[in-house]
A = this chain, B = another copy of it.
Amino acid sequence: MAICEGKTWKFGNASIASWASVVGKVESDGPYGDEFDEVVEDNKGGAETWEQAEAQLQNKSLKHALDKVNLTPENMDLIVAGDLLNQCTGSSYGLKDFYIPFLGVYGACSTFAESLLIAAALVNAGYVENCAAVTSSHFSSAERQFRFPLNYGGVRAPTAQWTATASGAAIVTSALEPPFIRSATVGKIQDMGINDLNNMGAAMAGAAYDTLTRHFKHMGTHPESYDLIVTGDLGQVGSDLLHDLFRRDGIALDKWHKDCGLMLYDRERQDVHAGGSGCGCSASMICGHFLSRIRSGDIRRILYAATGALMSPTMVQQGGNIPGICHAVEISYN
């Protein structure tokens, strides 16, 4: 049967004018700890609950991104945002006080790429001039929602990933200076038959393979066309699987591949098992590390492929699998 191929969208007029990241203490202790805009040392960040603390992360990161380029909320046309919390409350509670038109999205850990590509498409088409893409995750709010109450003290499986306490915000506007958003491919939902809540990487690898393969095909590119292929948070298990899938096609993806889930923490020193995850994982690495290097030209072209496990405790309890998705966004110096 013929399968829907989808399209890769091309943008001549979309750039990222400003960006910011806010992370928690564990993330600030990682290898890129000094590249984030703000560290919230206390797990609750002065809020009463973890969920409210997560909402504050988004509020802070958008404020930093606006301040850096002297934009105020009334200069903005739109926010595209989402997160892992049920009903995406990290976004709605964290961003409501800006009074900016708001499109809520849900892509699990792929949310930052989904937000960026929607923002780029709307800016490039001229519907909006200044559009923010924002997301967050929080270790404690995610653990209790998706796995166990923290005080249960459950032993974590070796394949489990560590949800990042982190947020990233980027302001997309018409093209002025790099980083430019040049193209994007929307992911398809892929069901790899995984139903283990502690093995998200495996659930997402097939989606990354599908989206990257379609993006390369539509753009006439190969992994070597980019400085780096940056996945969201496949972690070790998912990254290995992704390399295996490309190896079958004769492609040594591992030479060009970095995974934000494997970058954010020092796995030798920090007990994060298979790596980091959560919407904030790749959002903070993109906004904390990559975008400034693309602006300076040290990195010329990345394909940012954020992966998401569309994981529902309710569906898994009912015997369902965990579908994955991956959205790809090309970010470049020229």
Q: Counting CB contacts under 8 A, is A155 at the interface?
A: no
Residues of B within 8 A of A318 (CB): 48-49, 51-52
- Give the bracket for the number of chain A residues in contact with chain B: 35 or more
The smallest C-beta distance from A134 to any residue of chain B, in angstroms, reads 13
Q: Do A4 and B74 contact each other (CB < 8 Å), given the known contacts A85-B312, A86-B312?
A: yes
- Contact call A108/B121, Cβ cutoff below 8 A: no
Q: Do A102 and B49 contact each other (CB < 8 Å), given the known contacts A4-B73, A87-B312, A310-B92?
A: no
Q: Counting CB contacts under 8 A, is A216 at the interface?
A: no
The smallest C-beta distance from A130 to any residue of chain B, in angstroms, reads 10
Compute how far the CA of A104 lies from the CA of B111 in the bound complex, rounded to whole angstroms: 9
- Contact call B92/A323, Cβ cutoff below 8 A: yes
- Contact call A96/B323, Cβ cutoff below 8 A: yes
Residues of B within 8 A of A106 (CB): 82, 87-88, 104-106
- Contact call B121/A127, Cβ cutoff below 8 A: yes
Chain A residues within 8 Å of B, Cβ to Cβ: 1-7, 9, 48-49, 51-52, 72-78, 82, 85-89, 92-93, 95-96, 98-108, 114, 118, 121-122, 124-125, 127-128, 145, 185-191, 310-315, 318, 320, 323, 325
Residue pairs across A and B with Cβ atoms less than 8 A apart, 24 shown, are A1-B74, A6-B100, A52-B318, A85-B314, A86-B87, A86-B313, A87-B311, A88-B310, A89-B312, A89-B314, A92-B325, A93-B323, A101-B186, A101-B188, A102-B188, A102-B189, A103-B107, A103-B118, A104-B106, A104-B107, A104-B310, A121-B121, A121-B125, A145-B314
